[in-house]
Structure formats: C-alpha cells, structure tokens
C-alpha cells in the first residue's frame, strides 16, 4: 500500500440556522430579560432553552414557562488563554458552565464571568457544581443568547 500524503489546512464556514417559532420566541423574550422554557405535557419537565418538542417523550411541548435568571452550576470548565478559536464571542480566559435555572429541569450552557480568572484554581473554586449564579444582562439586547453576557457567581 502506498503512503498517503496529506495537506493540513483550515477552513472557515459561515452557518445559518433557521429558527422555529419556538426558538424565535425564546430569543425575542431575552430582549425583555425573560428566560423562557417550554413544558412537556408527558414528563412535566421545563426545557430551557425552550424547545418545540420534548426529546425524551417525542411529544410537542404545550406551555410556556418563565424561569428565573438565577440558578445553580451543574458542571463547569475553564477555557484558558491558549484556546482561541474563530468566532469565539469573548476572549479567554473565561468559564463555561451548564446552569440549571430555578424553575427549569434541564441545564443551559453559558459563560461564567465577573470573577478573576488569573488564578485558575481560585476561579474554579467560584464555579463549582452547586454554586449559585445570576445572569448579567447586556445593556443593549438584540434577541440573541449573548443578551446574557454571562452568569456571575453569587457566593
Ligand atoms: Zn417529556
């Protein structure tokens, strides 16, 4: 068998996602500092971000529910300075977490901010599972997930 020769490169792709009416309402409500979920009529879970159907029960969600902009960290990680990638909305270092907002039954993925990241160990102490966080909203909101700048630890 011949040796396979390869060239390594990088490509940049612009994506567009078509929003469902459920997605559109979820993003529009962020302009009013409201985080909305939808409730599954079968299992009763409140899904955030709002979803058109429950991925567990495969039935359409039927009810809109406003959840709190506070919640608890379920899991988190720290993105270090050397991890830069195209399209990254904020510069490292920063925290990323799965956050279960009060009133929701599933976690929302978002940034952790408003803490000192210069000492990674100290920063991780502030974003441990179970710690409470609150949304820090952008002054100017445009109906995007970045209308929430980040979640700030309350302790
Ligand atoms: Zn369900």
Residue 1 lies in a domain: no
Match 């612009």 to its residue by tokens: 14
Whether residue 34 lies inside any domain: the answer is yes
Count the domains in the chain: 1
Taking only the tens place, the pLDDT of each residue in 94-103 is 999 999 999 9
Query: How far is ligand 1, taken at its centre, from the CA of residue 41, in Å?
Result: 7
> What is the token pair recorded at 27?
């993003």
The tokens for 119 are: 């000492």
Which 3 state secondary structure label does DSSP give 128?
coil
Q: Which pTM value belongs to this model?
A: 0.87
141 in a domain, yes or no?
yes
What lies within 8 Å, CB to CB, of 92 at 6+ separation is: 79, 80, 81, 82, 83, 84
Which residue range(s) make up the domain with 77? 21-153
Question: Is 27 part of any domain?
Answer: yes
15 within a domain of the structure (yes/no): no
Q: Is residue 7 part of a domain?
A: no
Q: How far is the CA of 45 from the centre of ligand 1 (A)?
A: 6
The top-scoring range by mean pLDDT among 11-25, 78-92, 134-148 is 134-148
């Amino acid at each position: 068998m011949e040796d396979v020769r390869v060239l390594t490169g990088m490509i940049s792709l612009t994506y567009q996602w078509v929003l469902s009416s459920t997605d559109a309402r979820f993003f529009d409500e962020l302009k009013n500092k409201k985080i909305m979920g939808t409730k599954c009529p079968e299992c009763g879970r409140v899904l955030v971000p709002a979803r058109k159907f429950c991925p567990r029960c495969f039935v359409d969600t039927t009810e809109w529910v406003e959840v709190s902009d506070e919640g608890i960290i379920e899991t988190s990680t720290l993105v270090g300075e050397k991890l830069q990638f195209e399209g990254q909305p904020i510069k490292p270092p920063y925290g990323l977490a799965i956050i279960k907002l009060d009133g929701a039954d599933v976690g929302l993925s978002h940034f952790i901010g408003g803490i000192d990241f210069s000492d990674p160990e100290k920063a991780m102490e502030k974003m441990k599972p179970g710690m409470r966080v609150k949304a820090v909203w952008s002054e100017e909101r445009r109906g995007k997930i970045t209308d929430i700048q980040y979640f700030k630890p309350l302790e």
